[in-house]
Each structure stands twice: as structure tokens, then as C-alpha cells.
């Protein structure tokens, strides 16, 4: 349950950052410090659930585990239509 | 299609911490001291609070926010002992209280008539440690029916606390619990921890607990 509320907060932060491009987000990078008190596998499971619900379209969660107690949403990857298919 | 990376680096707990700062400022403006009371389930938070409300509810203008996963049984138990307000938060499954819930609960409490606010967290030694609620003191109850090595198993809870209250000490004659070893483990995790030992049922050690609360609620305590 703890990790689910964290996953939902990550979703909220990312949505605020992305605005309308949230549906084009393909990956969400999260840093889970080894002393952060967050269980990475439980968080990954919960993030998968959050990122498969609208407005998300199944973005992948990429978790890294550096030493320390940091717990950050570190980056977002968005697919841009650059017109190369035209 | 090209993939573009947006650097963010935002702390996931930032929103909770902002709300906790808001709670802290609201309480400071009214001279209210808040204590976040945490423990594993069944360590005696509610029984300790029942005795505390009966003794100090009126003299210290206490209010209580009681968090539970389901039911408001604890809030009902506490309300019997005081005419002071007991506000229940039912988390609906969540394993901890967060600053937003506490901030909302403050709307229902007459802060001008409150000096000491005790927040009874959800019984859990893991998750509540990560959520700042805007409290001044973090108190962990550690009961003699648990293993002495609880501080080693749940270090974050003990690291973030400033007081440990050993509860149910009237059961010590019947249990192999080693108080010295338990305290040693607490200090190993957090050398700044201070200790109290109480039996809320029999009354032993309760005077020291009441004294701690009186000092915490004194107007100069926040200085």
C-alpha cells in the first residue's frame, strides 16, 4: 500500500510535468535510493498499474538504485512526432 | 518518431513535505505542539492515550487525531475519556497517515483551544516513518512482548524518532525480554534517542510520560 501511494504520487508529478504529452510518454525514470525505505520491486509493480491507466498509455518504469536515501522522479521520455514518417 | 528525454529530478515526497511544513506553521501560529505516536499494531498506543486523556486532557487542552486502516474504534475508545475533541481518520487501507490527512483533520479542531495535539498513527513500523506530518516530536512505542531487536529490523522508524516509550512493563516478570539489550539496539540505530518505560495498565512510569508531555506542551518548548 505504501508503494502504491508513492507510485500514484510519481504519476501525479509526471502528469503535472507533461501536460498534454502524457499520452506520448514511453518511459518514466525513478531513482530509489538503497536507504530510501522504498521497496523497488513493489514500487515497480505499482507503477506498472498506475502507468497503464488513462491518461497513461503503458509507459515503462525504469528504476535505478543508487546508494543513499534519495527518492526522485528523475526523467521522462516522450515520443515526439517529428514528421519523419510523412 | 523520436524519443525525447525530459530531465525532472523532483523529490517524490516533496508534496507531502510541503504540506507538513504547512501543518507545522499552522500549529506554531496557534502555539500547539504535535506529537506523532507510532508503533507496531497492539503496542498499546490507544491504552496509553486513554490514560493520558483522563489525566491531561483538560489541563493540557489536548486534541487527538486517531488514524486507523478501518473502523473508528480507537477514536470511540478515546472519546469516552475526554470531552476534548478526538478526530478519526480512516485511511481505507493505506498503511500510514500523510500530511494532507492531518492538515484536513486540523480544520475540525479548535486550535485556539488546543495546546497539545497527539496524532495516533496507523499501527505499522515501516511506512509511517517516511511521512512527515508536521509534528514536533516523533515517539515510538516499543512493547516488551516484541523482540528486543525491533530497532535493528525497522531502523528507519527508530532513526527518525526522538523518543522511545517501552510499554506494558508490568509484563516483564513473565517474559524473557531484556530491557538493556533493547535499549542498546535502539541507541545503535539512533544514539540521540531518549527513553521512557511505562505500564499504562498499572500506572508505573506514567508520571514521567505525563511530565514529558507537560514540558512538550509548555509555551517555551518550541523555542
Q: Is B119 a residue whose pLDDT tops 70?
A: yes
Domain carrying residue B112: 14-217
> pLDDT-based confidence at B116, cuts 50/70/90?
very high
Which three cell numbers mark B112?
485556539
**What burial class does residue A17 get, using C-beta atoms within 10 Å of its C-beta: 0-12 exposed, 13-18 middle, 19+ buried?**
middle
Q: For chain A, what percent of residues have pLDDT higher than 70?
A: 93
Q: Which phi and psi (to 5°) does residue A74 adopt?
A: -95, -35
Of B11, B93, B127, the CB nearest to A72: B11
A86 occurs within a structural domain: no
Average pLDDT, chain B: 92
B3 occurs within a structural domain: no
Q: Is B29 a residue whose pLDDT tops 80?
A: yes
Can you give the pLDDT at residue A84? Answer: 54
Alpha-carbon distance B98 to nearest alpha carbon in chain A (angstroms): 10
DSSP SS3 for B133: coil
B1 occurs within a structural domain: no
Q: What is the tens place of the pLDDT at every residue in B133-174?
A: 999 999 999 999 999 999 999 999 999 999 999 999 999 999
Q: Give the C-alpha separation, B85 to B114, whole Å.
A: 9
- Domain of B135: which CATH number? 3.40.50.300
B124 occurs within a structural domain: yes
**Hunting for cell 525514470 — which residue is that?**
A29
Domain carrying residue A24: 2-78
Average pLDDT, chain A: 91
- Domain of A68: which CATH number? 3.30.2320.50
Q: Of B81, B202, B11, which Cα lies nearest the Cα of A33?
A: B11
Q: What is the tens place of the pLDDT at every residue in B163-188?
A: 999 999 999 999 999 999 999 999 99
Inspect the interface and report whether the beta carbons of B95 and A10 lie closer than 8 Å. no
Which candidate in B9, B11, B12 is best for mutational testing of the A interface (most A CBs within 10 A)? B12
Which candidate in A8, A38, A72 is best for mutational testing of the B interface (most B CBs within 10 A)? A72
A83 occurs within a structural domain: no
Cβ–Cβ under 8 Å, residues B163 and B193: yes
Interface of B with A in 82-111 (CB under 8 A): 93-96, 98
Cβ–Cβ under 8 Å, residues B33 and B45: no
Cβ–Cβ under 8 Å, residues A13 and A29: no
Residue ranges of E strands in chain B: 2-11, 33-38, 62-68, 86-90, 116-120, 137-143, 163-167, 194-197
Number of domains in chain B: 1
Q: What is the tens place of the pLDDT at every residue in B40-83?
A: 999 999 999 999 999 999 999 999 999 888 888 888 888 887 77
Q: What is the tens place of the pLDDT at every residue in B96-106?
A: 899 999 999 99
B97 occurs within a structural domain: yes
Q: Residues near B80 by Cβ (< 8 Å), separated by ≥ 6?
A: B50
Q: Is A65 a residue whose pLDDT tops 50?
A: yes
Can you give the pLDDT at residue A86? Answer: 44
Can you give the pLDDT at residue B114? Answer: 94
B202 occurs within a structural domain: yes
Q: Mark residue B201 as left, alpha or beta (left: phi above 0; alpha: psi -120 to 50; beta: remaining).
A: alpha
Cβ–Cβ under 8 Å, residues B9 and A72: yes
Number of domains in chain A: 1
Q: What is the mean pLDDT of residues A48-55?
A: 95
B222 occurs within a structural domain: no
Q: Residues near A39 by Cβ (< 8 Å), separated by ≥ 6?
A: A3
Which candidate in A3, A4, A7, A9 is best for mutational testing of the B interface (most B CBs within 10 A)? A9
Please report how many Cα atoms fall inside a 13 Å half-sphere around the Cα of residue B152, on the Cβ side: 9
**Touching check for B129 and chain A: CB below 8 Å?**
yes
**ipTM entry:** 0.89
Alpha-carbon distance A48 to nearest alpha carbon in chain B (angstroms): 17
Cβ–Cβ under 8 Å, residues B144 and B172: yes
**Hunting for cell 480507537 — which residue is that?**
B74
B182 occurs within a structural domain: yes
Instruction: List B4's β-bridge partners, or say none.
Output: A78
Amino acid at each position: 500500500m505504501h508503494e502504491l501511494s508513492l507510485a500514484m504520487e510519481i504519476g501525479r508529478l509526471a502528469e503535472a510535468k507533461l501536460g498534454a504529452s502524457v499520452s506520448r510518454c514511453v518511459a518514466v525514470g525513478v531513482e530509489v535510493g538503497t536507504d530510501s525505505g522504498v521497496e523497488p520491486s513493489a514500487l515497480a509493480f505499482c507503477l506498472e498499474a498506475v502507468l497503464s491507466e488513462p491518461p497513461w498509455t503503458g509507459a515503462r518504469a525504469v528504476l535505478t538504485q543508487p546508494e543513499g536515501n534519495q527518492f526522485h522522479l528523475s526523467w521522462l521520455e516522450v515520443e515526439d512526432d517529428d514528421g519523419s514518417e510523412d | 518518431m523520436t524519443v525525447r528525454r525530459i530531465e525532472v529530478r523532483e523529490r517524490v515526497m516533496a508534496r507531502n513535505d510541503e504540506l507538513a511544513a504547512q501543518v507545522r506553521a499552522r500549529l506554531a501560529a496557534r502555539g500547539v505542539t504535535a506529537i506523532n505516536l507510532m508503533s507496531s499494531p497492539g503496542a498499546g498506543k490507544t491504552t496509553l492515550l486513554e490514560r493520558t486523556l483522563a489525566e491531561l486532557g483538560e489541563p493540557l487542552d489536548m486534541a487527538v487525531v486517531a488514524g486507523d486502516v478501518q473502523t473508528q474504534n480507537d477514536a470511540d475508545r478515546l472519546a469516552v475519556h475526554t470531552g476534548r475533541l478526538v478526530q478519526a481518520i480512516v485511511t481505507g487501507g493505506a498503511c500510514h497517515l500523510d500530511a494532507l490527512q492531518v492538515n484536513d483533520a486540523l480544520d475540525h479542531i479548535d486550535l485556539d483551544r488546543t495546546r497539545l495535539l497527539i496524532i495516533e498513527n496507523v499501527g505499522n513500523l515501516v511506512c509511517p516513518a517516511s511521512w512527515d506530518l508536521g509534528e514536533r516530536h516523533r515517539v515510538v512505542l516499543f512493547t516488551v512482548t516484541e523482540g528486543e531487536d525491533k530497532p535493528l529490523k525497522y531502523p528507519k522508524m527508530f532513526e527518525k524518532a526522538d523518543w522511545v516509550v517501552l510499554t506494558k512493563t508490568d509484563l516483564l516478570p513473565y517474559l524473557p525480554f531484556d530491557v538493556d539489550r533493547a535499549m542498546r539496539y535502539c541507541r545503535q540505530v539512533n544514539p540521540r534517542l531518549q527513553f521512557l518505560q511505562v505500564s499504562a495498565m498499572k500506572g508505573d512510569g506514567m508520571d514521567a510520560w505525563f511530565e514529558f508531555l507537560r514540558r512538550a506542551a509548555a509555551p517555551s518548548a518550541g523555542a
